[in-house]
Amino acid sequence: MRTDEPIDVAVLGTGGIGKRTLEHIEHEDDVTPVAVCDSGGVAVDLDGVDYCDLVAADGGAVAQQGGSEVAALPDGRSTDDSIADVIEVHEEVDAVVMALPNIPHSFIPDTVERFLDAGYSGVMVDVLKRSRVIDWLEEMEPELEDAGVTFVCGAGATPGFLTGAAAVAAQSFVEVEEIEIWWGVGIESAYEENRGTVREDIAHLDGYDLESVAEMSDDEIQEVLDEHDGRLEFHDMEHADDRLLERAGFCSADDVEVGGILDVTQDEKPTTTTVKVTGTTFDGTTATNTFQLDDETSMAANVNGPAIGYMKAGVFYNRNGIYGLHGPAELMPGF
């Protein structure tokens, strides 16, 4: 799926996902980042932000040097509300990639509302994980359609890439009985820039939730990791794959189970990422279709590649007058 014109993109967030998104865009001839922001800084250049410098800079768009804020980019500056600064140029932006934290739950829906209030009309893509956020976004769908916004939710790896794989694997069946998604991520060398993701994952452990981990210090987060020897194992997670697959009509959300292993002590994947879809074919056979990711593909490649691919699909939809909310099981990413 190819678009007819170049795509000017704003990237919200320069943590692990945001930086890797910018690195991936470097390989996309038809995509240009024109605005990039983090919690303390923003860089806007309608000819293209020099994202190579940004990726290499510690601290994102604004680096701290000697206690004072110094722009890490020639066209970057500090700001108290970086998202507002991006919204100011929304008419120049074809697509907004939200590489934002999922803490609190309302952060992504609130950000979408800000763009809608400003009159934005284009594409928005997120890599959210939590099932309950889908409900809020579905309530906003009439607003999205009225504004001419095409919103692709849960467009990373899981939900996203693996949700789409499950949707394809389900095509063999007339009835899907069960979908199991099992992922493995090793992030020793990328731990510092993925602290937000680790914090959010800890919220899936027994005894924790997003509200409690939001109040925890970095030292307390480290204590949890130490208690588990740096290896966190999850079962029956509240992951948006279930709601997105249900929304697309493949199965009930109760028939989807997501789990996995996060290891911060190594870069190698602690387990192979696998999707299993079990169902009944039209001729009465019960079978399981299995999809696996190669252990050598990195988390960044499996998150940010699909995010850009789903963004391209969203742009194709938007430029053809198709608006509203769409999940990764409802459309195929472009390349």
The catalytic residues are: 129, 200, 204
* Cβ pair 113, 137 in contact under 8 A: no
Query: Nearest 5 degrees, angle CA 279-CA 285-CA 288?
Result: 40
* Cβ atoms within 10 Å, residue 216: 16
Dihedral angle sign, alpha carbons of residues 297, 299, 303, 305 = negative
* 261: CB partners within 8 A, 6+ apart: 183, 184, 185, 231, 232, 233, 234, 270, 271
Tell me which long-range contacts 45-53 makes (C-beta under 8 A, separation of at least 24).
Answer: 45/75, 46/8, 46/89, 46/92, 49/73, 49/75, 50/74, 50/75, 51/22, 51/23, 51/25, 51/26, 52/26
Strands 175-186 and 274-280: antiparallel
As given in the structure block, the two tokens for residue 56 are 């290499």
Scored b (16 or more CB within 10 A) or e, 150-176 reads bbbbbbbbbbbbbbbbbbebbebbeeb
Largest Cα–Cα distance in the chain? Answer: 70
